[in-house]
Structure 1
């Protein structure tokens, strides 16, 4: 790369720096454990694949098997990158670690492993006891008590299994005492306890296994249930935790709750369990009733900090549901063979694409001017549920009333937006009968004309309501935005409804699609020939922009320079699709980045590099990083061949747009 030639383009660009290492909570952690944590922590910012796939193998000694892992490979062509075992055996009556042989083999094959423990109840060590609330929970930290002595025996048996893995050099994502934020009939014996007591038990367990038992191969995973409240309330602290995760079984993955609360703890984030919700009658999901493929889109668009996910097995498994291939073969998914710990020194890749929306209401500081009609009480801003960040809007309702509204009556201008969306939820209490439906609506113009999204049945898992704004008149004169909740016939009792994340999304504005058969004012720099508008490849329509390049000469640019700067104020994302030709010696491959030059000095800003090849790759640039979008003098794509690349090739660009 020629520094002299690039100097004008890089004016004002910040110097690149290596991402800081993320270290385990245990200062004596093994080298392999430290490498795994650091690699996972930086995975969301790397180019290419970014989320490790995982599958639960079962309970050790009774039901653990890699058969479903093989089924997943047969269906999708991909092995998961992570497998998990639970040391509970025979309905949590004892501790068994016979799954270790498979875990060791998986690590040797280049995969990651996780261990959870549905630990036996110290007072009632059987399946029923697993779901029986433990009184005197605080005694777990006192080995002189009957409860504490039983807990110590459980820890000793667990430590023996973990020590076997430690001797084999296997790092373990260790997930004890999970879903602690639940209560009721299906809650574990350690769930719903006093928060201070739970934290004390976690810290005692951490110290005993790490210091007394000298186990330094453990990465400690804290994972509350996403469908319940208090998700961060039991957090034992940064000195006792390495990964934070959520156990989630929502109807709609995009509506999974708690992401903002957990990522705010500043630890690597994971979905420690995912799967379909249970059928309320059979208490298990019906085969083929759930689309796992929706998780791929949800992670990319709603939960981009995710480092790994772990799908549950048996009737919850992707192998008996739908969408396994979509999820496992998504461009962000890392399977077995893609976990390259030697890549720890690689520079971080581009940030994940931001959602192209403008948050209208998040309720983090109060009701934001929203009110209610036909409510029993409220609305209020609460922290017991949120789809993003930590708060939402809540109101109590009477399920015998035909409808309830949460709304904001105030003039707003939504002209120029393409869609409106909102996250909604109902509380789990009250007799909902066939379920409460909700619709997002607007009233616009002097006549307060009504427009809505149509009804969607919602429940405690939540749902996302989306309303296209095409065809809505008087968007510059919106008089009211709201959500109408309608209980089903026969519903009775009291319940609550929640609203969060009211977001408006702009339509894309095309800056280059080349469908006219011309370059549309785009040019090239450091290219061999071109550019031209060609019909030999396109990301959409029939044409793209192409230029020939000489690989050994280094980077080349396809760009649009504006003699009169353009104003991109309010735009959040620049996107384009890029490709290289299959010819020429590409060596380890070409990388590309989108950039803009903006401000009075026409300073350079870019979106970070993405690997590109003869398959199409979508490039993203979060324009929030550009301080002055009022004067954009140039946009473009920068293509950088790998060291040692040589010969002639071609680069292509298409579908350049801003939102």
Structure 2
């Protein structure tokens, strides 16, 4: 959340997403379809006894990333229960945009007032937990929305001190201690509110102890092992002892500091991973790729811009589409950070990727077509400038480049078809050399009209050589939300002589009537390209303002057995590991490197590092932004999207900067420099 008493720190929470739920009387029917044993996918809820509706929400969120559109749920923070909680801004947002956010969030504790002390503190141990927002949350769920709860609870050691790090944090997992007993009392109060929601059948995206990797809350900056023990004890107490089976547990570090995954308590006690991020340049933020490795649905659990005022919320949805496409939901804060204060609220809430209240259908989940593959991609066809030599086969009319639907941009390819015809195609004929690529991806969709019976399927295919040998992605249902199709190219011969590429649509048995088919964003995926792994030496990398080196060493490595190392003096303000020479990075979307500092030397507040490139004759500098790096290492990500001059990169490197007060000798390391 945004704390008015802290600068440069954490930020607000909110969740975004559309959904068609149904009336309360029909919920049981829908859920019987959602969680039937015949489902291919195992339930993804961490709580093995989670309610049917809770498992349905977890499973639905996990499948959103496979859609071609309507795939990111919108959210909005309603306020602090018993204090600022109100729906006024959300109603205003609806009046302005025609949309209600998919997720409504409430906080069960006020946390602070303008002086930084708990709002209702009194001499005895206070009861600052309040869940009077529950009736609004229950009504929201019944209206087809999702619900989130966070808790800015009081410090068990000193309720007047909300921001200072709790020194004996580990005692919270032991109820026999004074701190543990007070913490258990607080959990009991939280559990009372969550039980009220459970009895009303409301699943909850429960986000406790968020931004734990920061230093602005009493639970922040703790030992990762102690944090894990407290989280797991809290999970066991609320789930097993209290019998609350309506919770989806959300792990939400801040995107600014390092150690975004260091506090991760484990996949068996976590359902969603997310980031709380406030930045004016969302496309360049760090942490997304790092959290995706945890294998859980990802969300921007608080999302906004670093400065208040009329910032451009369009930058956020654009960043989600281009840099963070696996995002399941986002949550914006209230007050001055609310989209209602922004002239671009309509664009945010009505984007083709946004799912709002009334558009959430827990029974509708999209399976991927083919094995999902990630990597740098090259657009093959986006249909922004017309049909781009794509044609139709066994279609009724078209194809045309249209604006009525698009997975990205403003246009897609459309053709009318007769569902009584067993198959139809959108395709491109002509010789293509796809050697060196790892996959083809595309977004396919069908119009909602017409009788699709069991569902119209789509498959992405190529035909190679004189014999037009056929290979495809396998079939996936392509409904009005669309589906992401992926055709892996590994093992396919003749890729240097592709004669046809396309998508085959097949109507189900019993289908009939007219409808339309759509295609968008056909792209070629390249493998990540290692720039330097230092297995064979320094590979023309050098040091600047270092004391000795660099050398290729075996004492530490992120991958393989070697990394690049140089000795530095921590009294020197900066040092570099770098490569000079002409490089063409055009077509790549990101640059990554894993870096480390040695544990010896006085690093004071922590040595920071940033990944950078310098382009053109003027050596224009662009970098990833600084993060603190220690002896356990950190992966740096530099977003290249939108950077000019990438065809003429003159220097690439890592800049290290010791903190004020640092001193003595140490060493810096870099490994696995990779283009994606």
Q: TM-score range by the shorter chain?
A: 0.5 to 0.7
Alignment of 1:199-210 (within 5 A): 199-210=228-239
Question: Once the two structures are superposed, what CA deviation does each residue of 1:162-217 show, in whole Å capped at 9, x if it has no partner?
Answer: 1111111111111111101012xxx1001001111111111111111111111111
Determine whether 1:95 maps to 2:129. yes
Counterpart for residue 152 of structure 1: 184
Counterpart for residue 215 of structure 1: 244
Determine whether 1:602 maps to 2:469. yes
Alignment of 1:282-431 (within 5 A): 285=308, 287-288=309-310, 290-344=311-365, 347-348=367-368, 356-357=376-377
Determine whether 1:26 maps to 2:47. yes
Q: Contact between 1:595 and 1:604, CA under 8 Å: does it hold in 2?
A: yes
| TM-score for the superposition, normalised by structure 1 | 0.63
Alignment of 1:221-236 (within 5 A): 221-236=250-265
Q: Contact between 2:435 and 2:496, CA under 8 Å: does it hold in 1?
A: yes
Counterpart for residue 141 of structure 1: 173
Alignment of 1:6-25 (within 5 A): 20-25=41-46
**Structure-1 separation of matches of 2:205 and 2:518:** 42
CA drift at 1:236? 0.8
CA drift at 1:526? 3.6
| Aligned counterpart for 1:197 among listed residues 226, 231, 237 | 226
**Structure-2 separation of matches of 1:64 and 1:651:** 44
Q: Contact between 2:367 and 2:477, CA under 8 Å: does it hold in 1?
A: no
Q: Contact between 1:113 and 1:172, CA under 8 Å: does it hold in 2?
A: yes
Q: What runs of 5+ residues in structure 2 fail to find an aligned partner?
A: 1-37, 113-117, 122-127, 526-676
**Structure-1 separation of matches of 2:447 and 2:247:** 45
Question: Once the two structures are superposed, what CA deviation does each residue of 1:94-149 show, in whole Å capped at 9, x if it has no partner?
Answer: 100000000111111111101000010012213xx111121111121222322222
Counterpart for residue 498 of structure 2: 632
Q: What runs of 5+ residues in structure 1 fail to find an aligned partner?
A: 1-16, 279-284, 358-505
SS of the aligned residue for 2:512 comes to coil
Counterpart for residue 568 of structure 1: 434
Q: Contact between 2:445 and 2:478, CA under 8 Å: does it hold in 1?
A: no
SS of the aligned residue for 1:144 comes to coil
Distance 1:607 1:323, change over 3 A: farther
**Structure-2 separation of matches of 1:225 and 1:329:** 27
Question: Once the two structures are superposed, what CA deviation does each residue of 1:36-68 show, in whole Å capped at 9, x if it has no partner?
Answer: 111111111135311111111110000001111
Counterpart for residue 8 of structure 2: none
Alignment of 1:546-557 (within 5 A): 549-557=417-425
Alignment of 1:253-292 (within 5 A): 253-278=282-307, 285=308, 287-288=309-310, 290-292=311-313
**Structure-1 separation of matches of 2:401 and 2:73:** 38
Distance 1:570 1:325, change over 3 A: farther
**Structure-2 separation of matches of 1:59 and 1:649:** 47
**Structure-2 separation of matches of 1:173 and 1:514:** 43
Matched length: 469
SS of the aligned residue for 1:25 comes to coil
Q: Contact between 1:602 and 1:633, CA under 8 Å: does it hold in 2?
A: no
CA drift at 1:22? 3.5
Distance 1:146 1:577, change over 3 A: closer
| Aligned counterpart for 2:152 among listed residues 72, 94, 118 | 118
**Structure-1 separation of matches of 2:484 and 2:404:** 20
Counterpart for residue 169 of structure 1: 201
**Structure-1 separation of matches of 2:257 and 2:75:** 23
**Structure-2 separation of matches of 1:162 and 1:546:** 47
Counterpart for residue 61 of structure 1: 82
